[in-house]
Amino acid sequence: MKKLFIIIGFFLTLQVNSQNITFAGSGLTAVKVENMTKGLSVTLNSGDVLTLSVTTGIPEIENKKAPIMKIYPNPMNDNSTLAIFPPEAGIATITVVEMSGKIINRFRTFLENSPQEFKLSGLKKGMYLVNVKGNTYQCSGKLLSLGESYMTTKIEKVNKDIKTVDKKTPEMDYKGVKVDLSILYSPGDFLKFTGTSGSNRTIITTGFIKNDTTITFTFYPCTDGDENNYPVVKIGTQIWMGENLKTTKYNDNTTIPPVTDDLEWQALTTPAYCWYNNDATANKATYGALYTWAAAMNGAVAGFIDNAMAMAGSAALNVATRP
């Protein structure tokens, strides 16, 4: 009985409040939102609204101030059932999202103020976030799929003996339509927002959001001699690169000599670069390139951090010792 109570309590741990975030910025086309604390992410198009789904405990079920949601069986193999008892009748959106942030399926329908069920099928092996959002409520839950389905993912209403209401046919969201997306959030979670405008990206981070807000991105071009584009982040009054430098050229297109021999690298007093473990395929995107001091000091240096972020738009290079 104790285990059963714990499981039921888990399913009833739902959102009782939320914050909505809108995004702005000249030329903004997309925003990737990452909850770094929980390891979740979701990508929005320009104009979409993000809802932070705050879970704070067991809702007041008797007064129906919060929805009741359950997903079973969980883990699932071929299919699972989403049971939802919304606090009020109205149009609601059911969304199934991969933990990478990719939306697998979204379905809009009218929900009665009574228990209703939906069949979820066609999910490949992995962890998913199932979200239900109405006009005044929202709830989310995780679903683990153990299946190897190659079918199309479906969300299907399970017919029950409930009241039928005219002119309330299900609606589907289509690409290009402004939508609301959500991500699980607890006060204090570290959030990372990456806005995109063409080839330019800007990163904004925050540790606490308690009210509805608008996040505005300012974009700066940051491209090296190899045409690699870097995101930027504002720290104080300065704009810094948000990724390690990985160019093989100076900003005047002069080639930096590559060196792969350990002994030669240790004796170098001239400009050179290498890749971590001499493996560009595995390490270029993560670590960037490693540069000798002479390479970093070749030209006007506006600032640099050891194997970290160099000042955007400057000639600075990452400097690190060879592994």
Give the tens place of pLDDT for each residue, 217-259.
Answer: 999 999 888 889 999 998 888 888 888 899 998 878 889 999 9
- Domain boundary residue, one of 216, 238, 254: 216
Residue 54 falls within a domain, yes or no?
yes
Domain span at residue 252 reads 226-323
Q: Are residues 65 and 182 in the same domain?
A: yes
* Cα torsion angle, 235, 244, 27, 216, sign: negative
pLDDT tens readout for residues 31-55: 999 888 877 788 888 888 888 877 5
pLDDT for res 211: 85
Q: Total domain count for the chain?
A: 2
Q: Are residues 239 and 180 in the same domain?
A: no
Q: Judge whether residue 98 has pLDDT over 50.
A: yes
Q: Are residues 260 and 302 in the same domain?
A: yes
Q: What is the largest CA-CA distance in the chain?
A: 82
Q: Are residues 206 and 321 in the same domain?
A: no
Q: Are residues 211 and 252 in the same domain?
A: no
Residue 221 falls within a domain, yes or no?
no
Q: Is the pTM of this model over 0.75?
A: no
Q: What are phi and psi of 214, to 5 degrees?
A: -120, 130
| Residue 9 belongs to domain with CATH number | 2.60.40.1930
Contact 159, 92 (CB under 8 A): no
- Domain boundary residue, one of 216, 245, 267: 216
Confidence of residue 215 (pLDDT cuts 50, 70, 90): very high
d(CA 75, CA 104) in angstroms, rounded, equals 18
Question: In the predicted model, what is the mean pLDDT of the chain?
Answer: 77
Top-confidence residue, 251 or 280: 280
pLDDT for res 55: 53
Q: Are residues 145 and 276 in the same domain?
A: no
- Domain boundary residue, one of 187, 216, 245: 216
